[in-house]
A = this chain, B = another copy of it.
């Protein structure tokens, strides 16, 4: 056995557990921040602009409400961050909102959150890329002139990258994110310096424009409604905050504490950037209109359909740094890059959530397997397809896409926080330690406020945005919800159907004997191998079966059979229509009819080939026959493969596929770190004495 220990060890421990890889995988805070925060931080690139856009409906005079709206967003951000810090401590396993809602509010709430998150991932891709293109376009006009095409191209590029399985590193995220954050802070600082110390007059490119108010002199309810809509749009800044709660296992120890700290840092950065940009926008007199073509007036005339309304962040940068200056270009590029990275996070989160849902049987079983390339690919393609559809339908216009965006986020915020309240209630019911109780009561208060506030925002978002596009997001959620419920129902029905009856394995119709039938077309190595294997199996009867589709060939077969003295009887079925499947099926059915208590074992020699086109040339009849035989009760079908030389190519390909790295691994942390019952896991991997961790020490002799 000494020579063998290496192989079982590799099997049991897995290559990926090597300590160098493990060390590489766990994230320090300085890397975790950019990895998880690219999505929420990047949203300051579009959120301030959306606030101004909505306010412009009531004319420039409404702009003076923007600090108040910013304040509301800041309060909300702090609330959400504080709430999620509780989540991170209570659920360090990384299940995130779905786990919290599922555990505390039941499967329906869990499924609702899951549907909301899935829709959200699609919209993260669509919005981030649309906004990224617009930011890039402020530096490179060509890009914005071919907005839809460029957005689709970026989606395709990201999709291909993710399908190929690029090996990620935290640095990949760190550099652009830090450049972006630094750029924005330099801009705010330099702007403040110029404005307050140098007393420069900084003017945005649109500073001299006028806005034709669509509704002049709004007041009362209408004004409140407009302000709420502006606030809803500003809430786009909160998207992605929940990401860290999914990624706790990827942090260095103490995981929860580090994750909570990172969350707080992220909230602080986001809020500062958001407010800074709004303040600079007010100072530099940025003018945004919902319909710039008609409502933005320059020198007394509307700017017309050709006008490109640059994002607030780029207008501010132009005012502060100067158009075409080095820093302006750097900031535009970093903004676009960080937005594309934000889109990329959805590519990682989507299949991860899918695997968790598959574990709960809401999605096909095989998605459960971590890092399964095929499952991963299907998820990626679905995500990319949906995002592309939205981008094309909405003309890659981030403003229109954002109307759809915020619903899903706040559905999961609200349900997750409500679930946390329940969580604390449950723990408070049993906890005796007063210090812990006090802590829990405090946490519950935070989560309760979070649930109330995010719930309120959800209502506001639904009311103010429903007709503007939120209904599309809701429809998407309903579709996901219905599909996943149906899948779960199917699995439950099947599980009931196949449940084993109690008692020590009393399979009611237990076969008593086996008739083995080896299918023969010609005598060659594959059939000889199949015959040899069939003999080894020692079934009760054994015969070779051939179908006569060509009398000359059949005659030759019979002669060779006798000449070689093969000691298995050969039976030939006639087939007047040169069919293969039907005669065999009928024969097998006949055998079963003759002795209904026996099983039939059909043994099929199969060629293993290396290229897809060779599949078209081989095994097609065998495949079809197998498909039909499986419907015949009491039959088992055995493939005896014969590896043709060309199969080596496919073997190599398969091996290569196996070593593929699923993107998003950086955010997930190592798999062993997130077991459901840590005590039960790994017991086998510690034993090095044998290949098995089970109750037997090896195959039993019979």
Binding site for B on A (CB under 8 A): 4, 7-8, 10-14, 16-17, 359, 364-366, 368-372, 374, 487, 490-491, 494-495, 497-501, 503-505, 507, 510-515, 523-529, 531-533, 536-543, 546, 548-552, 554-555, 558, 561-562, 564-566, 568-583, 586-587, 589-591, 593-594, 599, 601, 603, 606-608, 614, 616-618, 620-621, 624, 626, 628-631, 633, 635-645, 647, 650-651, 654, 658, 671-672, 675-677, 680-682, 684-685, 691-696, 699-702
Contacts and interface: CB of A to CB of B under 8 A. Distances in A.
Contacts of A640: 636
A590 B650 CA distance: 21
Contact of A677 (B7, B526, B551): B551
Given A528-B500, A576-B685, A699 B636 contact: no
A229 to B, nearest CB: 41
A134 to B, nearest CB: 38
Contacts of A561: 695
A537 B511 CA distance: 11
Contact of A565 (B504, B542, B650): B504
Contact of A552 (B568, B671, B677, B693): B677
The 10 closest A-B pairs by CB, nearest first: A569-B696, A551-B680, A541-B699, A366-B620, A14-B576, A630-B641, A370-B578, A571-B694, A638-B638, A498-B524
B637 A587 contact: no
A550 B618 contact: no
Given A510-B532, A541-B700, A633-B643, 14 more contacts: A7-B590, A11-B590, A13-B574, A498-B526, A498-B607, A500-B525, A505-B531, A555-B677, A570-B695, A628-B654, A630-B643, A631-B651, A635-B641, A639-B639
A64 to B, nearest CB: 56
B671 A576 contact: yes
Given A579-B372, A685-B576, A507 B528 contact: yes
Given A494-B607, A641-B635, A693-B572, A369 B702 contact: no
A579 B644 contact: no
13 contacts: A4-B590, A14-B575, A14-B577, A368-B549, A370-B579, A536-B539, A542-B699, A550-B676, A555-B680, A571-B691, A571-B696, A572-B692, A608-B631
A379 B410 CA distance: 54
Contacts of A507: 525, 528-529, 532
Given A374-B624, A694-B570, A533 B4 contact: no
A577 B671 contact: yes
Contacts of A504: 564-566
Contact of A569 (B550, B581, B589, B695): B695
Contacts of A536: 511-514, 539, 599
A590 B561 CA distance: 36
Nearest to A515: B699
Contacts of A620: 364-366, 374
B582 A658 contact: yes
B499 A525 contact: yes
Contacts of A369: 549, 578-580, 621
A89 to B, nearest CB: 23
A576 B7 CA distance: 15
A569 B494 contact: no
Given A537-B538, A550-B676, A637 B636 contact: no
A573 to B, nearest CB: 6
Given A494-B607, A523-B500, A695-B558, A371 B10 contact: no
Given A676-B551, A694-B571, A368 B490 contact: no
A150 to B, nearest CB: 32
A347 to B, nearest CB: 19
Contacts of A551: 675-677, 680-681
A531 B505 CA distance: 10
Contacts of A642: 498
A209 B551 CA distance: 65
Contact of A533 (B498, B599, B629): B599
A570 B696 contact: yes
B677 A616 contact: no
A617 B491 contact: yes
A617 B543 contact: no
Contacts of A696: 543, 569-571
A358 to B, nearest CB: 10
A6 to B, nearest CB: 10
Contacts of A677: 551-552, 555
A299 to B, nearest CB: 50
A499 B511 contact: no
B586 A644 contact: no
B14 A590 contact: no
Interface centre among A566, A575, A631, A643 (most CB of B within 10 A): A631
Contact of A578 (B368, B543, B629): B368
A7 B523 contact: no
